[in-house]
Amino acid sequence: MSVEITFVEQFQEILQNGKEQIILLNFYAPWAAPCKQMNQVFDQFAKDTKNAVFLKIEAEKFSDIAESFDVNAVPLFVLIHGAKVLARISGANPQKLKAAIDEYIQPLISQISSTNASVETQVNSVQTTNTTSNTSKAPNGLDSELNERLSTLTNAHNVMLFLKGTPSEPACGFSRKLVGLLREQNVQYGFFNILADDSVRQGLKVFSDWPTFPQLYIKGEFVGGLDIVSEMIENGELQEMLPN
């Protein structure tokens, strides 16, 4: 099961006591939609994975811990063993996180139980593991892993906004205007800052067959950009599409 860090000393104590264990850190922000989705994924992985410690750390609340792990964007997952960082997985990508768990946690456990070699050697050998991946294409031409990821992201909330920046700090005029419109309409939505992840930014243009941002999705379906959503509000179309 995963553990929510509630005070700094708790974190330090777990690290101290868990030197022989693999620990997976999840740095998140409670207001960020990708983090909410990934926290659910993380909790599920925690249930499914034995012999590892899963910790959830609110990055802004525990900024000293976050700083010591160079957290620049959330969600960020850091896999550690003793004093060593085994892997860093950035962004809302369940497949990547699962791959890291499979690569580092399961093999390391089995190696520890099957040999008497030093921990140092085992960690090094694990670190050099080479992952071979099979790349296949989704019908829209996107890499199937990226397509699956985009499908997950666009369904993270009933209403999802992909914008430049965040609702409180939009990075372009169009994103700011659309945030304003949604606020006026009292629309509840999740969001994703495309400036934080260029593969999402480029992938969504194909996924939606729409070249510009912001992009609004309802129940995983692309609805439109600023011009279209504005028009839909005028003609009542948006209100009809919104879940109650």
Q: Which residues are annotated as a binding site for glutathione?
A: 164, 201-205, 226-227
Distance CA 75, CA 146 (A): 17
- Measure CA 102 to chain center: 18
181 near another protein, judged by CB under 8 A: no
Sequence-separated contacts (24+) of 41-47 with Cβ below 8 Å: 41/94, 41/97, 42/2, 42/77, 42/97, 43/1, 43/2, 45/97, 45/98, 45/101, 46/1, 46/2, 47/1
Closest contact distance (angstroms) between CB of 237 and another protein is 6
Residues forming a β-bridge with 215: 162
- Tell me what percent of the chain is helix, strand and coil, each rounded to the nearest 5: 45, 20, 30
Q: Which is nearer to another protein, 87 or 223 (CB)?
A: 223
Closest contact distance (angstroms) between CB of 222 and another protein is 7
Integer-rounded Cα radius of gyration of the chain: 20
Main-chain dihedrals φ then ψ at residue 98, nearest 5 degrees: -60, -40
Going residue by residue from 198 to 237, which x/- string records binding to another protein, judged by CB under 8 A?
-----------x------------xxx--xx--xx--x-x
Which residues belong to the annotated binding site for [2Fe-2S] cluster? 172
Which residues belong to the annotated binding site? 164, 172, 201-205, 226-227
Q: Which is nearer to another protein, 26 or 175 (CB)?
A: 175
Q: In what order do the strands lie in the sheet with 221-224?
A: 190-193, 159-163, 215-218, 221-224
Closest contact distance (angstroms) between CB of 225 and another protein is 9
Q: Which is nearer to another protein, 162 or 222 (CB)?
A: 222
Closest contact distance (angstroms) between CB of 217 and another protein is 11
Q: Which is nearer to another protein, 53 or 160 (CB)?
A: 160
Distance CA 68, CA 233 (A): 46
Q: Which is nearer to another protein, 123 or 241 (CB)?
A: 241
Closest contact distance (angstroms) between CB of 231 and another protein is 5
Residue numbers at the binding site for another protein (CB under 8 A): 209, 222-224, 227-228, 231-232, 235, 237
